[in-house]
Amino acid sequence: MTDLTLEFCGVKYPNPFVLAAAPSSDKEEMVARAFEAGWGGAVLKTTSVESEEVSLVYPMMTGQDYEGKRLSALENIDLISHHHIDEVEKRVRALKKEYPDNVVAASIMGQEKEHWQELVQRLEAAGVDLIECSFSCPHGMPEKGMGSTIGQNPDLVERTARWVKEAARRVPVVIKLTPQIADITMAAAAVKKSGADGVCAINTVKGIMGVDVYEMVPYPRVKDKSAIGGISGPAIKPVALRCVAEISQKVGIPVTASGGITTWRDAVEFLLLGARNLQLCTAVMQYGFGIIDDLKEGLIHYMEEMGFSSLEEIVGQALPNLVDHGALSRENEVVSTLDEDKCIKCGRCYVACNDGGHQAISIREDRLPEIDEEECVGCAFCTTICPVYCLEMKPPQKKEA
């Protein structure tokens, strides 16, 4: 029997898959459909007090393709929801009534102490299960001293998290962090010090997706101007994994992961590095709520294959294997090894090794690559280039004999 339930900050999730605060969680009807499809929870798109003006611009999104494949990264210049707290209170009530076993979290952002505290109190009264505070939006909000302006300063993180925690009577408080800080563990440590219950890592990564080279305007174009936005999707997964791992290792506070999760394998990777909860945004926007079937089935299959009966057994299992660079073995002798049957003789490994490596690969007369074990230092660059995955790092054959 595989059990997909997992507790996060004292809240029990029917499964760890959660809609992140984003367009997919900005309507009651959408969240209801996601719950019907099998999602464990949702963080409703970030809301604010009624007096907060939210002035959206369009278009607000642009994507990055890579070698013809969509969508390796998404950039948005969206802001928090234009639905204020009065609307969100109603949604929380309705969703909790209809779906008492699903986790309904609300994301909030305020300018002043009174705003933060009012938001928490009203949402708590509406029956929300958990409060997430965005200290991390990289665009628009920082101009008002909100969003990542807070997340980039551990003192402001601690002060603001404390305000929220003070006002919360019942619900756990989670702080959503920005990766735009030299050391994210400083911000996570400030959250822990404030008494708040957990962190969400990470929000989008600040970036510019590209520039229209003829009109000389960056994307996304709003008339003849653009603004720096937040990057999400598969491209930011390595940054998110690193942040989750660093926080889990160095701070020891419950983490809900966000950033590039698309498949069950991504989900397992985040769990192995310490996440107790998994939020998805870009993948849901791109593929729809139905991806929950693949996520859950893949996770169950992995657990069965590995002999795990609960997710608790997975959380953090890879952390002891993440060490400082100086602690890595200097005696790991490996060389690139070719599976000749799989090779399509494209020559890309030869070019990569010749111009980006150690000139250890030559091309034979029959166009198959030949690896010189004496010259190969074992850097593994060729294995990252091969389009058919026919190169592997193995101990040198000569030494093995």
Ligand X SMILES: Cc1cc2nc3c(=O)[nH]c(=O)nc-3n(C[C@H](O)[C@H](O)[C@H](O)COP(=O)(O)O)c2cc1C
23 binds ligand X (CB under 6 A): yes
Q: CA distances (Å), 124 to each of 89, 170, 228, in order? A: 9, 7, 34
Stretch that binds ligand X, among 76-84, 122-130, 305-313, 338-346 (CB under 6 A): 76-84
Tell me how many residues contact ligand X (CB under 6 A): 26
Q: Which residues of 217-232 are buried (b: 16+ CB within 10 A; e: fewer)?
A: ebbbeeeeebeebbbb
Measured from the CB of residue 193, what is the shortest distance to ligand X in angstroms?
22
Given 133, 137, 376, 390, the catalytic residue: 137
Amino acid letter for position 185: T
Q: Identify which of residues 148 and 336 has a Cβ nearer to ligand X in the complex.
A: 148
CA distance 296 to 291: 9
What residues numbered 214-243 form the site for ligand X, per CB under 6 A?
Answer: 232-233, 236
The verdict on 203 binding ligand X (CB under 6 A) reads: yes
Which window, 15-23, 84-92, 155-163, 185-193, contacts ligand X (CB under 6 A)?
Answer: 15-23
Residue 78 lies near ligand X (rule: CB under 6 A): yes
Binders of ligand X among residues 280 to 339 (CB under 6 A) are 280-283
Give Cα separations from 313 to 4, 12, 123 (angstroms).
11, 16, 33
Q: Which of residues 94-153 bind ligand X (CB under 6 A)?
A: 107, 134
Query: Catalytic residue at 137?
Result: yes
Question: How far apart are CB 167 and ligand X at their closest, in Å?
Answer: 19
Which one, 78 or 269, has the nearer CB to ligand X?
A: 78
| Residue 55 DSSP code | -
Determine the interface stretch with ligand X among 110-118, 257-265, 330-338, 354-362 (rule: CB under 6 A): 257-265
Question: Which SS3 state, helix, strand or coil, does residue 180 take?
Answer: coil
> Is the CB of 35 or the CB of 135 nearer to ligand X?
135
Residue type, 54: V
User: Is 22 near ligand X (CB under 6 A)?
Assistant: yes
Nearer to ligand X, 142 or 233 (CB): 233
Helix ranges (H only) for 5-144 are 28-37, 85-98, 113-126
**Element (DSSP H or E) covering residue 59:** none
Query: Tell me, what amino acid is at 371?
Result: I
Nearer Cβ to ligand X, position 142 or 259?
Answer: 259
Contact in structure between 159 and 193 (CB atoms under 8 Å)? no
CA 60/CA 47 separation, integer angstroms: 18
Q: Check binding of 191 to ligand X (CB under 6 A).
A: no
Residue type, 344: I
**Least distance to ligand X from the beta carbon of 83, Å?**
10
45 binding ligand X? (CB under 6 A): yes
- Binders of ligand X among residues 361 to 390 (CB under 6 A) are none
Name the E strands within 14-68.
17-19, 41-47, 61-66
180 vs 282, beta carbon nearer ligand X:
282
- Structure tokens that stand for 182 in this block: 């030299």
Kindly tell me which residue out of 41, 154, 229, 259 binds ligand X, with binding defined by CB under 6 A: 259
Give the E-state strand segments of 306-400 in sequence order: 335-338, 361-363, 369-371, 391-394
- Which residue from 6, 9, 11, 21 is in contact with ligand X, where contact means CB under 6 A? 21
Look at residues 176, 168, 104 and name the one whose alpha carbon lies nearest to residue 146.
Answer: 176
State the sign of the Cα–Cα–Cα–Cα dihedral 245, 251, 253, 259.
negative
Q: Which DSSP letter does residue 225 get? A: B
Choice between 72 and 249, CB closer to ligand X: 72
Q: Which residues contact ligand X by CB under 6 A?
A: 20-23, 45-46, 74, 76, 78, 80, 107, 134, 176, 203-204, 232-233, 236, 258-261, 280-283
Catalytic residues: 137
